[in-house]
Amino acid sequence: MPQTSKSARALLHASRVCGFVFVCVLAIAAIYQWMSHKRDLRDNPPPGQLIDVGGYRMHIHCVGHGSPTVILDSGLSDSSLSWFKVQPQVARFTRVCSYDRAGLGWSDQSPYPRESKVFAQELHALLHNAGIHPPLVLVGHSMGGFDVLIYADLYPGEVQGMVLVDSAYPDLANRLPELKTSLSQWRRSLERERYAMPFGIPRILGWCGTGTPKMMPKLKTVECDMSWIKETIAECHSMWNESAAQAGSVRSLGNMPLIVISEDSTKNVKEFLPEFEKGQEALAHLSTSRSRVIAIGSGHQIQKERPDLVSSSVQKLWIGLQSPAN
C-alpha cells in the first residue's frame, strides 16, 4: 500500500477522533449548563409570586404595608434583584413591589415585542392579575424610566407620583451618539456570548451573575441563562428606537409629584455633562410639581450606590401624598 494512502487514512481517522471528542465535550458542557441552571433554580426560588399574564408568567415580589403602593422598575438587563438595598427600606413605611420584566429574573419569556410600551402593558396586566390595585407610585431606573413614563401616560388615573432614578431620556441617543455606539457594541458582544451560553462558558468564565458574595448565587440563577441574554439583546435593540420614541411621546405629567434623581456629575465623562444636565432637566420639567436631587458620590447605579437617597426620596414623595389635599 502506498505511503501516501496510509497517511491519508491516518489523518482521516485522527480527524474523526477529534470530531468525536469535540462533540462529546460540547455535550458534556451543555449538560453542565443545564444541570447548573436547574440547581440554581432549586436553591434560589423566586422570592415572590409567579403570576399568569396571558399564557406566560411574570415574577413580582411585594413586601410591607400601606398605600400608595410603590412599584420598582429596573433598568436595561436588570432584574428585581437590582433593588435589593432599596426595597427593604421602602417597606418600612409602605407596600413596595419589585418585578421582573418578561424574560428577565424569574419571569417567563414573552411572545410580544420587547419595547417599553409593551413593558408598561405587561406590568399593568401583572399588577391587575396579582391583585395590586391603584394608587401607585412608580420608580424607574435608567431604561425603566421609559417604562414608567409610558405607564403613567397609558393609565393616568392609577399613578399618583413618580421617581426617576438616573433615568434615560428619550433623545439621549441624538444628544450623545457615543452612548448609542457603546450600547450597540455591547449588544454585539452579547450576541457572540449568546452562542456560548448553552455550553456554560459565561458561567465558567464569570461573564454573568457577578456581584456581592451574598447576591452572586441569585444573580447566577437569573443571569447565567439563555432567557436573560435573549431579553437583554432585544431590549438593547429597541432602547434607542421604539422605546425612546414611545417615551418621547409623553409630553407632560401635569402636576403629578415627580422627583428626578441624577448621578453625581463628577462621575460623568466631562464632555457629556452639558447634554446629561439638559436631559435630566427636561425630565424634571415634565411635571409642574417637581424636584431634582443629585446623588453625591454615586454613578449610574444609584439604587445600589446610594439606596438611602432613593428610599428617602420615595418616602418624601409618599408622605406628601398622605396630606388631605392629595
What are the pLDDT digits (tens) for 65-105? 999 999 999 999 999 999 999 999 999 999 999 999 999 99
Domain-located, residue 27: no
- CA geometry: angle 240, 305, 169, nearest 5 deg: 20
Residue 320 C-alpha cell reads as 406628601
Domain-located, residue 44: no
Average pLDDT for 25-49: 85
User: For the domain that residue 206 is a member of, what is the CATH number?
Assistant: 3.40.50.1820
Domain-located, residue 15: no
Number of domains within the chain: 1
On average, the pLDDT of the chain sits at 89
Q: Report CA Rg, the chain.
A: 23
Cα separation of 160 and 256, whole Å? Answer: 6
Cα separation of 154 and 151, whole Å? Answer: 5
Q: What is the pLDDT of residues 261-310, one digit of tens each?
A: 999 877 665 567 778 888 899 999 999 999 999 999 998 899 999 999 99
Residue 193 C-alpha cell reads as 456570548
- Tracing cell 456581592 back to the chain, one arrives at 212
Q: What is the pLDDT of residues 147-191, one digit of tens each?
A: 999 999 999 999 999 999 999 998 887 777 777 788 888 888 888
Q: How many CB atoms lie within 10 A of CB 237?
A: 17
What's the pLDDT band for 193 if we cut at 50, 70, 90? confident
pLDDT at 30: 76
Domain-located, residue 10: no
pLDDT at 8 over 70: no
Cα separation of 155 and 126, whole Å? Answer: 14
Domain that includes residue 107, residue range: 49-320
Domain-located, residue 3: no
| Reported pTM | 0.91
Domain-located, residue 12: no
Domain-located, residue 94: yes
Domain-located, residue 272: yes
